[in-house]
Amino acid sequence: MVIKLAWRNIWRNKRRTFITVGAVAFAVFMASVLRSFQKGAWDKIVDSTVNLYYGFAQVHGKGYWDEQILNNAIEYNDELKSLEKEIPDVKGVIPRIESFALAAQGNLTTGVLVIGIDPEMEDDMTGLKSRLTEGNYIEDDDEAAFVAEGVAEKLGLKLGDTLVLISQGYHGANAAAKFPIKGLFKFALPDLNKRLVYLPLNAAQEFYGAENLVTSVVLKIDQRDQVPAVLKAVNAKLDNEKYELKDWQQMIPDLLEARKLDEGSAVIILGILYFIITFAIFGTILMMTKEREYEFGVLTAIGMRRWKLFSVIWWETVFVGFIGSIVRIMISIPITYYYNVNPIDMAVMGEDAVAAYEKFGIDPVMPFAFEFSIFLWQAFIIFIVTTILALYPYWKIMNMKPVEAMRQ
């Protein structure tokens, strides 16, 4: 009876109800679209950055991440290789050995980051082969180098030339070798494009005197939300005294901080929208309470309990917010789904925008996040707002004197 009465009451003044519902729907629609766009854009940036090199999780020797030197390398053994078979969400185990070296050609030298990789596994995760600009991609049994264009340009090298590498190997061993350049590639990030050199894993291990050793093992994980379960499973399997496990948030904290900062600014915008919505709903409640003081006085005088009267008013405010939320969901779901399937092409903003995204190795498209939690969260906020605002009619009803109310 209370709910039925509340539903009828909100349509006693249709214009006021439609205005309030429209205000709620508009503000919540804007909040949902903004949140969907922001989350979708950042998810795209994170996925692109992670898949560019780091992966969602890596296994290292204990203490390697704090002191990234060859002496902290680990054996690439069956225990690590078996992670792919024993943990379903791990789709690949990609070994790497990396250290710095001095690259030379004639009288020219430059510091480079030498990374030993399994060419096929690396390409499967990072798409390294797709960055090839000249020559051929390296293979497992090659004794050749895959060199970034920036390094080749700095040293005056071209395809087929010999690259001399000098470094310090495992446990201080001398490391010096010559590698013909089999292929050139262009890396998206300018800083890395000026200092990256890839070698086949076996060749890099021989160069550094680190047979069967790796500095990191990247775990290929398809979905970001699978990471916590994978970390838990890997931690349970590996010896924590020997290995350390890092996820993408620990490896690239700057990206996480940038996301939090951007989301913090969005919270301010959302706060303004909900501030507007709060006043729209409160205006409805204020007018409704004032206009119906006589009605409240009569109902109370004839014996209607005050808490039941308040229940009617509370349901009325909830209905208004609920209708506004339903209208918002009906409008925003198809829009966000469309832009989730058909991401916004940043080319519409001009070549400079496309170049800026490509500079950081990110595809120049921005998808919306299509997650029902976004819509449900907005509806929950509206429920909380209406519940809090309903305290005003509660206060008025509980302090109302029926005789005085009927004289209004």
The 3 state secondary structure assigned to the chain is CHHHHHHHHHCCCHHHHHHHHHHHHHHHHHHHHHHHHHHHHHHHHHHHHHHHHHCCEEEEECCCCCCCCHHHCEECCHHHHCHHHHCCCEEEEEEEEEEEEEEEECCEEEEEEEEEECHHHHHHHHCHHHHEEEECCCCCCCCCEEEEHHHHHHHCCCCCCEEEEEEECHHHCEEEEEEEEEEEECCCCHHHHCCEEEEEHHHHHHHHCCCCEECEEEEEECCHHHHHHHHHHHHHHCCCCCEEEEEHHHHCHHHHHHHHHHHHHHHHHHHHHHHHHHHHHHHHHHHHHHHCHHHHHHHHHCCCCHHHHHHHHHHHHHHHHHHHHHHHHHHHHHHHHHHHHCCEEHHHHCHHHHHHHHHCCCCCEECCCCCHHHHHHHHHHHHHHHHHHCHHHHHHHHCCCHHHHHCC
Q: How far apart are CA 30 and CA 332, in angstroms?
A: 9
* Average pLDDT per block of 10 residues along the chain, 408 residues long: 68 72 75 82 78 85 88 90 88 92 89 93 88 91 92 90 91 89 84 88 92 92 86 87 88 80 79 79 75 70 72 75 76 81 69 60 71 77 78 74 63
3-state per-residue secondary structure call for 308-322: HHHHHHHHHHHHHHH
Distance, CA of 391 to CA of 397 (rounded, Å): 10
70's tokens? 């060859």
pLDDT at 359: 58
List own/partner pairs for 61-65 with CB under 8 A and 24 or more apart. 61/215, 61/242, 61/243, 61/244, 62/241, 62/242, 62/243, 62/244, 63/244, 64/215, 64/216, 64/244, 65/244, 65/246, 65/250, 65/251
CA dist 390 and 359 (Å) reads 52
CA angle 209, 214, 220 (to 5 degrees): 155
Q: Would you state the pLDDT for residue 101?
A: 93
Domain boundaries, the chain: 2-50+255-406, 63-240
CA–CA distance, 92 with 218 (Å, rounded to integer) = 8
Give me the pLDDT at residue 352, please. Answer: 64
